[in-house]
Structure 1
Amino acid sequence: MAVVKFIELSAQSPQSYEDAIRQAVETASATLRNIQSVWVKEFEAVVENDRISQFRVNVKLSFLIEGSGAGAG
């Protein structure tokens, strides 16, 4: 039986929402293994001087708990 854990993260980028999502996954992958999916829960933008200065996302990541995959235990 596989067991998947979910965590929520927030990330931002001055370039785009897509880049903010990418940064969330890349940063999480530095300490997590077996990331399975990313779900974007919220989009937000910071406006300064009538222009968007930051793109923010709140995401939910899922990752497989080690030892819980097919054939484990």
Structure 2
Amino acid sequence: MAGTVARITEISARSDVSFDDAIKVGIDRATATLRNVQGAWVKEQKVDVTDGAITHYQVVLEITFVLE
């Protein structure tokens, strides 16, 4: 019987550009450390605001990777 087992880990990533960039930063960092990354779920999004302007975009990602 063949099958796979995956693990999910939660990470937070920030960017001063956009949510898309924050997701890319998080995925790039996760794949630098974890093997067999298969996907990610954006669990939360948040912005920091200073003087009425967005200064940072933050995402919480759940990263799925298959165990060897």
TM-score bracket relative to the smaller structure:
over 0.9
Cross-structure match for 2:33: 31
Alignment of 1:57-68 (within 5 A): 57-66=59-68
Cα deviations across residues 6-52 of structure 1 (Å, max 9, x unaligned)? 00000010000000001001001111111000100111000011100
Alignment of 1:1-73 (within 5 A): 1-66=3-68
The structure with more helix, counted as a fraction of residues: 2
Percent same amino acid among aligned pairs?
Answer: 38
**Alignment-mate amino acid for residue 23 of structure 1:** V
User: Which of these two proteins has the greater Rg computed from alpha carbons?
Assistant: 1
TM-score normalised over the length of structure 2: 0.94
CA RMSD in angstroms, aligned pairs only: 0.6
Q: After the TM superposition, list the runs of 4 or more consecutive aligned residues in structure 1 that deviate by more than 3 angstroms.
A: none
Matched positions, count: 66
